[in-house]
Copies of this chain bind each other. A is one copy, B any other.
Amino acid sequence: MSVAESGRFEKIKVPSAYQMVAEAIEREIMAGRLRPGDEIGTEAELVRQFGVNRSTVREGIRLLEQGGLVQREAGRKLYVCLPHYRKLSDRMSRALVLHQVTFRELFNASMILELGVIEAAVDNADADDLAALEANQKQAEAAVDDPVRLAEIDTNFHALLARASGNRVLELAREPAALLFFPTSELICRRVPQGAGRMVTAHRHMIDAVASRDKEAARVWTRRHLVDWRKGFERAGRDIDEPVERIFERLSTARQYS
């Protein structure tokens, strides 16, 4: 029963062959000797190079596959690729759910992240970003009576805003929380009559604030938007201290926005 054998020496780990295969390939990628778009050799070539069996090579490849470092094009050749944000964020979100974080944590973190995002967006948004936001707003206005669709549009709105920030670190940092947070708008729009209208109004003011580079208005309306969420959440009879439940059935089938 020695789970945490605390002592003088570190536990010796003897990596298995398939792990070493994965690590070797990953090192090549991280060192820049394999670049995104390059194709890794065939399994037969890897078998020759590493001197292990094909089964072992394949297990190593599976490890990389999940990390998003390599991709198979339609069951065919194996390419190095840039891990896609969305996929990584999905994993993160799953972890948050399994760790049973509360809606309060989600709310507080999102307040910080979204305020940061919109401030950066005020500084950096260009015409394309604004056009994308306007298009999203049009969709929202047309969907005020469809909670499912509206929640999806809301999620996209904030993703577009994050992209407009021009800061990919921030964009990635907010995404795991956002993937759990904004889809709950559906619940709120469904239970609170004026919820949808207030959401659309807030989005309108946020876009305008970004367009006119008005940081103060941007902060005010973002905060209001999120506080609305919280009020709606409680009015819908939910407790903000309950853990985020498993809402991934919807998320995993949601349409990609990029």
**A16 — which chain B residues lie within 8 A by C-beta?**
75
Q: Which residues of B contact A14 (CB under 8 A)?
A: 75
> Interface range on chain A: under 10, 10 to 19, 20 to 34, or 35 or more?
35 or more
Residue contact A94 to B105, C-beta cutoff 8 Å: no
CA–CA, A66 and B74, complex, Å: 22
Stretch at the interface among A135-143, A153-161, A168-176, A216-224: A168-176
Q: Does A258 contact B (CB under 8 A)?
A: no
**A113 interface residue, CB < 8 Å from B?**
yes
CB <8 Å contact, B97 and A88: no
CA distance A248 to B91 in the complex (A): 21
- CB distance A113 to B173 under 8 Å? yes
Does A250 interact with chain B (Cβ within 8 Å)? no
Q: Which of A76-114 contact B (CB under 8 A)?
A: 82-83, 85, 88, 91-92, 94-99, 101, 105-106, 108-110, 112-113
Q: Is the CB of A68 within 8 A of B95?
A: yes
Contact A88 B95 (CB under 8 A): yes
Residue in contact with A169 in the complex, picked from B22, B29, B74, B96, CB distance below 8 Å: B96
Q: How many copies does the complex hold?
A: 2
Check if B63 sits within 8 Å of A91, measured CB to CB.
no
What residues of B have a CB within 8 angstroms of the CB of A201 in the complex? none
Q: In the bound complex, do residue B109 and residue A95 qualify as a contact, i.e. CB atoms below 8 Å apart?
A: no
**Shortest distance between the CB of A6 and any CB in chain B (Å):** 13
For A91, list chain B residues within 8 Å (CB): 67-68, 83, 88, 91
Residues of chain B within 8 A (CB-CB) of A85 are 95
Measured between C-beta atoms, what is the minimum distance from A39 to chain B in Å?
Answer: 13
Contact call A101/B176, Cβ cutoff below 8 A? no
List chain B residues, Cβ under 8 A from A98.
Answer: 29-30, 36, 82-83
Query: Could you jot down 27 A-B contacts, CB within 8 Å?
Result: A11-B74, A18-B62, A30-B97, A30-B98, A36-B98, A62-B66, A63-B66, A64-B66, A66-B67, A67-B91, A69-B94, A82-B98, A83-B94, A83-B98, A85-B95, A88-B88, A88-B91, A88-B95, A99-B168, A105-B166, A105-B167, A105-B170, A108-B120, A109-B167, A112-B115, A169-B176, A169-B177
Hey, which bits of chain A sit against chain B, CB under 8 A?
11, 14, 16, 18, 22, 29-32, 36, 55, 58-60, 62-69, 74-75, 82-83, 85, 88, 91-92, 94-99, 101, 105-106, 108-110, 112-113, 115-116, 119-120, 166-170, 172-174, 176-177, 246, 248
